[in-house]
Amino acid sequence: MSTNSPAPTDPGSSPGQALARSASLDELYRLLTPMNVGPGWNKPTPSLWDEPRKTFVPAHWRYDQAHAALEAAGRLINTELAERRNLILYNPVPGNEYATTRTLLAAYQMILPGEQARSHRHSPNALRLILDAEPGAYTIVDGVKLPMDAGDVLLTPNWSWHGHGNEGRAPAFWIDFLDTPLIHALEPMFFEPHPAGYEPVARTAEVSPMRFAWKDTLPRLDEAAPDATGPYGTQIELGSPAMRTISLHMMRLTPGVPTAAYRTTANNIYAVVQGSGTTTIDGESFTWSRGDVVAAPAWRPHSHRASADAVLLRVSDEALLRPLDLLRQELL
Ligand SMILES: [Fe+2]
């Protein structure tokens, strides 16, 4: 409460007496304002509404454009100056210059042959989908050096050390996903650079709970029960869930067969692992190809139609919403 007190209406009266003697609502409001108190029956904006507001908008980012921009950035800035050479995919709503959806961020990143991206850790959960990499691209998670091959998904959960390097002959490109917008809203942000700069490698591994290798994902999709017309196509989950706040699913779409339109309180970001097609979100259609990113923010009805055998990585905040009983989904 403010230390300011309402001015007494006449000499000798206490603030409480002045409040109690308010002769009109207008006078009461005037006395409440300096106390930082608002009348709940006369709110300037409502605090409850019928269903989720569509605050964030559907959006699409193209890999060919990001690829070209990152090639330029590779000439213009090195990993000493840019700890992460990445391009933030921010949702084009007024006042937003960071979040892709309410809780999630997506960013394209590139590392040149011979480069290293310094190790650090932070409270936001992070993961990456590898788009293009030759053998030799790697990430180090808590001292374990893991390969990064195209189609792989690598996790760096809350407070795990992670850095990246490229001992291959070609630049490595990937898409990062983080729950930083959620952490911004909740406030528990912590960040720490690794004291050694680059975390030493304790061991090398191909198999790790931090890595969903494409060579394992593809057979799982082949074996999954086909579902051409459901909202997710033929879907498998990576992890259960992959992280406390982020769910990961791989969806295979049948060419020419639209998925069922649905809406969900979850925020979904789709990244195109392979193939091409169109996603229609709340009446807007986005035609995508490999490496593109499409954001379907909460409560935006959407469906997909592949034009060629397509696999999408679906990154969502279902893992966050479900245990809080805040996940609602409706087929339309
Ligand atoms: Fe990081």
Tens of pLDDT, residues 59-72: 999 999 999 999 99
Residue partners of 93: CB distance under 8 A and separation at least 6: 55, 56, 57
Q: Is the dihedral of CA 8, 14, 15, 16 positive or negative?
A: negative
Question: Residue 260 C-alpha to ligand 1 middle, in angstroms?
Answer: 35
What whole-number distance in Å separates Cα of residue 286 and Cα of residue 109?
Answer: 22
CA torsion angle 280 173 160 239 (round to 10): 40
* pTM for this predicted structure: 0.93
Question: Residue 122 C-alpha to ligand 1 middle, in angstroms?
Answer: 7
- pLDDT-derived band at 2 (thresholds 50, 70, 90) equals very low
- Check whether 3 has a pLDDT greater than 90: no
Question: Residue 116 C-alpha to ligand 1 middle, in angstroms?
Answer: 13
Residue 154 forms beta bridges with which residues? 128, 211
- pLDDT-derived band at 1 (thresholds 50, 70, 90) equals very low
Question: Residue 165 C-alpha to ligand 1 middle, in angstroms?
Answer: 13
Please name the amino acid found at residue 249: H
Question: Residue 28 C-alpha to ligand 1 middle, in angstroms?
Answer: 51
What whole-number distance in Å separates Cα of residue 294 and Cα of residue 123?
Answer: 25
- pLDDT-derived band at 298 (thresholds 50, 70, 90) equals very high
Please name the amino acid found at residue 184: H
- Check whether 277 has a pLDDT greater than 90: yes
Question: Residue 311 C-alpha to ligand 1 middle, in angstroms?
Answer: 26
Tokens describing residue 229: 């017309």
Tens of pLDDT, residues 112-145: 999 999 999 999 999 999 999 999 999 999 999 9
- pLDDT-derived band at 10 (thresholds 50, 70, 90) equals low
Q: What is the mean pLDDT of the chain?
A: 94
Question: Residue 87 C-alpha to ligand 1 middle, in angstroms?
Answer: 14
- Percent of the chain past pLDDT 90, that is, above it, reads 91
- Check whether 236 has a pLDDT greater than 90: yes
Question: Residue 82 C-alpha to ligand 1 middle, in angstroms?
Answer: 12
Helix (H, G, I), strand (E, B), or coil: what is residue 236? strand
Tens of pLDDT, residues 147-192: 999 999 999 999 999 999 999 999 999 999 999 999 999 999 999 9
With contact defined as beta carbons under 8 Å apart, do 36 and 1 qualify? Answer: yes
- Percent of the chain past pLDDT 70, that is, above it, reads 96
Question: Residue 11 C-alpha to ligand 1 middle, in angstroms?
Answer: 61
Mean of the pLDDT values across residues 32-55? Answer: 94
What whole-number distance in Å separates Cα of residue 3 and Cα of residue 35?
Answer: 8
Question: Residue 192 C-alpha to ligand 1 middle, in angstroms?
Answer: 10
Residue partners of 267: CB distance under 8 A and separation at least 6: 56, 101, 102, 103, 104, 295, 296, 297, 298, 316, 317
- Check whether 264 has a pLDDT greater than 90: yes
CA distances from 309 to 133, 213, 256, 271 (A): 22, 19, 9, 14
Question: Residue 125 C-alpha to ligand 1 middle, in angstroms?
Answer: 9
Tens of pLDDT, residues 70-113: 999 999 988 777 778 999 999 999 999 999 999 999 999 999 99
Tokens describing residue 12: 């000798």
Question: Residue 327 C-alpha to ligand 1 middle, in angstroms?
Answer: 28
Judged by phi (left if over 0) then psi (alpha if -120 to 50, else beta), residue 308 lies in beta
Question: Residue 240 C-alpha to ligand 1 middle, in angstroms?
Answer: 22
CB neighbour burial string for 134-167, b if at least 16 within 10 angstroms, e if fewer: bebbbbbbbebbbbbbbbbbbbbbbebbbbbbbe
Mean of the pLDDT values across residues 280-287? Answer: 98
Question: Residue 132 C-alpha to ligand 1 middle, in angstroms?
Answer: 19
Instruction: Report pLDDT for 12.
Output: 55
Instruction: Report pLDDT for 6.
Output: 52
How many Cα neighbours within 13 Å face the side chain of 169? 0
- Check whether 9 has a pLDDT greater than 90: no
